[in-house]
Amino acid sequence: MSSVTVRVPAKVNVQLSVGPLREDGYHDLVNVFHAVSIFDEVVAKESEGITVQVNGKWSDQVPTDDSNLAIRAARALAKHAGRSYGAELVIHKSIPVAGGMAGGSADAAGALVACNELWGLGLPMDDLMEIAGDLGSDVPFSLIGGTAVGTGRGEQLSELPTGGTFHWVFALANGGSVDGQRVRRVRPAPGGLRRRRAVADAQRLPHGGARHRRRVRARHPSEQRPPARRAQPPPRARPPTLESGRQHGALGAIVSGSGPTCAFLAIDATHARDLAHSLTTTGTAHTAVAAHGPVHGATLI
């Protein structure tokens, strides 16, 4: 096979509850992930080395060096297979970058599925889940999609039957705020951003699935900290956005994950389209996209 294309969805966190500190120093979490129909596409073509190009609206925000999560995923897969494979990866980006919608994790999951096929490895989902868990806490969920509850420290993921389709509007931002105001980043926790990210991942992300329950090594002892302080908006940035959505008939309005993307639950597809239109024409959000969920995780097309 000379070229493989995989479609992989964004996610919204519809619930994140942090319980009290346990004796082992961790917090109990209940975290609900929901995959929605905003997709990146990852194309993998035969090549000598492993490279990446990124196209699309948000591409200028994405690194194309070895820090790109798709490259890291392809390398991890080759290492797992014990061979030095090559792939030219092309990412068509529609998921906003740094929007709390797991765009980088989606690309990593897409690269795993694409390269597994391109290289004819035929690795089972269990193996891909294990590699995904080592790459980042959002990556396993991006592989399976649907709706899932993460419990424990966030490391146990169970599929959640939802019994229908939910229609959403996402007021998108690209590393900023939905309404164009700058997002204020709080002072990093002692230990720096890397640990803060690891903590946030541990809190927010599962490392298994209903069919793929597994515990992942606790590789970040400093995860045993209270919830990390994440990016916060200026005090008056988000409430008007959420409130405006409610005023336009949204059934619910939440900030996805660490933000800044705001998610509005609509009555149906028509209402979602109207709501997206209202949010942009009133200047509440500079970009609003209607989408539905749950959708499958990384899928060969």
Number of residues that bind ligand ATP (CB under 6 A): 20
What is the nearest approach in angstroms of ligand ATP to the Cβ of residue 283?
Answer: 24
15 neighbors 265 (Cβ within 8 angstroms): no
Q: Which residues pair with 55 in a beta bridge?
A: 92
What is the nearest approach in angstroms of ligand ATP to the Cβ of residue 274?
Answer: 26
End-to-end CA distance of the chain: 13
Report the residue from 203, 241, 244, 258 that binds ligand ATP according to the rule CB under 6 A: 258
Binding of residue 98 to ligand ATP (CB under 6 A) = yes
266 neighbors 275 (Cβ within 8 angstroms): yes
Q: Choose the catalytic residue: 107, 138, 179, 201.
A: 138
What is the nearest approach in angstroms of ligand ATP to the Cβ of residue 244?
Answer: 23
Report the residue from 12, 70, 266, 295 that binds ligand ATP according to the rule CB under 6 A: 70
Q: Counting beta carbons within 10 angstroms of the beta carbon of residue 100, is it exposed (0 to 12), middle (13 to 18) or buried (19 or more)?
A: buried
Give the three-class secondary structure for 290.
Answer: strand
Binding of residue 183 to ligand ATP (CB under 6 A) = no
Binding of residue 107 to ligand ATP (CB under 6 A) = yes
What is the nearest approach in angstroms of ligand ATP to the Cβ of residue 138?
Answer: 4
Specify the length of the chain in residues.
Answer: 301
Using the rule CB under 6 A, give the single segment among 62-70, 81-89, 157-165, 281-289 that binds ligand ATP: 62-70
Q: Which residues pair with 17 in a beta bridge?
A: 30
What is the nearest approach in angstroms of ligand ATP to the Cβ of residue 175?
Answer: 7
Pick the closer one to ligand ATP by CB: 41 or 130. Answer: 41
121 neighbors 81 (Cβ within 8 angstroms): yes
Pick the closer one to ligand ATP by CB: 233 or 278. Answer: 233
Pick the closer one to ligand ATP by CB: 106 or 123. Answer: 106
Report the residue from 16, 102, 216, 228 that binds ligand ATP according to the rule CB under 6 A: 102
270 neighbors 292 (Cβ within 8 angstroms): no
Residue 79: active-site member: no
Q: Two tokens at 269?
A: 């597809």
| Site map 119..138 versus ligand ATP, x via CB under 6 A | -------------------x
Report the residue from 6, 90, 97, 253 that binds ligand ATP according to the rule CB under 6 A: 97
Run of H or E including 292? strand 288-293
Which DSSP symbol is given to 119? Answer: T
What is the nearest approach in angstroms of ligand ATP to the Cβ of residue 101?
Answer: 5
What are the CA-CA distances from residue 155 to residues 110, 148, 208, 215 (Å)? 21, 12, 7, 6
Which DSSP symbol is given to 235? Answer: T
- The contacts of residue 21 (CB under 8 Å, 6+ apart) are 27, 226
The number of C-alpha atoms within 13 Å of 6 and in the hemisphere containing its C-beta is 27
Binding of residue 101 to ligand ATP (CB under 6 A) = yes
Binding of residue 69 to ligand ATP (CB under 6 A) = yes
- Residues identified as active-site: 11, 138
Q: Interface with ligand ATP by CB under 6 A: which residues?
A: 62-63, 67-70, 91, 97-105, 107, 138, 257-258
